[in-house]
Amino acid sequence: MKFSEVIGQREAIARMKQMVTNGKVPHAMMLCGPAGCGKLALGLAMASYLLGEREEGTSAQTSAMLAKFQHPDLHFVYPVIRPAGTPSERKITSDDFARQWSELLRETPYFTFEEWLERMEAANQQAQIFAAEGDNVTHKLSLKSSQGGYKVCLIWLPERMHAVFANKILKLLEEPPQQTVFIMVSEEPHMLLDTIRSRVQRIDIRRIADEDIENALMQQRGLDKEMAHRVARIASGNWLKAMEHLDASNENFQFLDMFKMLMRLAYGRDTKGIKKWSEAVAAFGREKQRRMLRYFSMQVRENFMTNFQQPEMVYQTTEEEAFSKNFARFINEANVVEIQELIDHTIRAIGQNANPKMQFFNFSLNMIVLLLKK
């Protein structure tokens, strides 16, 4: 992947190229930043650049290998699942899902963790980087570079490492193999061990400029300028959000319906309806439940901002705006903080495998109380 294929991020690209030009490439770097800013795309472009990919003058062989993300000196580590029916003694590594990974990358380097779970057919399983990955990576990086240059190990979502793998990586970071560069792409860097964070050079990636998203929407999706401008504004620097908005079948339509239903049931103190709502949501997979709650959090924020009568501060679709016209007054200074805390608490509980039916019923009952605060 070339840097020219990355959406926006000219400052970060210039910095990475300068590292190579000056011969000051760190043995380990970690790309961090908000969702949809293109961290993985930047990581892939940097890996390709280190392995010889240039806008001009790249050998046909190198270009062909990198286009398929199958360069022998490029190694990937990412969270995977243990397929149903797999014997417990079977060691699972990223290589078991290499086909799905390379297929998804060839489609787009901009995708969500949830899309990756779907590609693996994870159902309700939670993915992680298993302990066995440690020996797998150590073996690969102990080999000499096949092309005589860098070896690159790109680790996507290192915060999902098993503790055993984390210790193996820590050892490799302390004594890195010759001409090896680790590129970590993290959504939640605070979850990594302090000892790992201290041994990588952190590079913070900013949200994508609205202008860059607007231009990409016109060039890649064929939108007219007015529509591209509206979508870019709603996306707020998040290319994934821009794509979601263009996808008529995306989950947000369902989440909006669930949000409206819950708020109406809570306002009407309809406990029977709330029980049915909780049971329906409990049937979702845990990852989907967390996505829904994050969507709820966003809608609470937008409804609160709507009360300030400053439309330029509100980022909603037409359907969301229509509901907010009458609902926004119920989200105010007296309850907005507690509602957000309630949502955050429920997200954590679901992530820790708490009973979803109980969690969502309790969540809904608390919402009755909070909506009445003025």
Neighbours of 342 (CB within 10 A): 21
Mean pLDDT computed over 300-323 = 84
Residues 77 and 94 sit within 8 Å (Cβ to Cβ): yes
Residue 249 has pLDDT above 80, yes or no: no
Average pLDDT over residues 173-178: 90
Q: Report the pLDDT value the prediction gives residue 106, as an integer from 0 to 100.
A: 93
Confidence of residue 148 (pLDDT cuts 50, 70, 90): confident
| Tokens 């990581």 -> residue | 43
Q: Please, which residues bridge with residue 77 across strands? A: 155
Residue 250 is predicted with a pLDDT of 66
C-alpha–C-alpha distance, residues 342 and 176, integer Å: 44
Bridge-based pairing state of the strands 151-156 and 180-186: parallel
Angle between the N-to-C axes of helices 286-306 and 356-371, in degrees from 0 to 180, rounded to the nearest 10: 10
Residue range 206-214: mean pLDDT, rounded: 96
The span from the CA of 176 to the CA of 167, in Å, is 14
Residue 177 CA: distances (Å) to CA of 20, 257, 258: 18, 52, 51
Tell whether the model's pLDDT for residue 43 goes beyond 80.
yes
Helix 10-21 and helix 39-50, axial crossing angle in degrees, nearest 10: 20
- 3-state secondary structure (DSSP) of residue 74: strand
Confidence of residue 248 (pLDDT cuts 50, 70, 90): low
179: left (phi over 0), alpha (psi -120 to 50) or beta: left
Helix (H) or strand (E) holding 343: helix 336-351
Higher pLDDT, 142 or 312: 142
Band (262; pLDDT cuts 50, 70, 90): very high
Kindly give the residue spans of alpha helices, DSSP state H, lying in 70-129. 98-107, 113-119
What pLDDT does 52 receive? 87
Amino acid at position 160, single letter: R
pLDDT at 370 > cutoff 70: yes
* Mean pLDDT on 40-67: 88
For residue 324, the tally of other CB atoms under 10 A from its CB is 20
* SS3 state of residue 366: helix
Average confidence (pLDDT) over 222-228: 86
The larger pLDDT score, comparing residue 58 to residue 145, is at: 145
For the chain, give the longest Cα–Cα distance: 69
| Token duo for residue 240 | 């994934």
Task: Specify the pLDDT at position 170.
Answer: 95
pLDDT higher than 80, residue 318? no
Closest CA to 39 of 185, 158, 160: 185
Q: Is the pTM of this model over 0.95?
A: no
The confidence score (pLDDT) of residue 251 equals 78
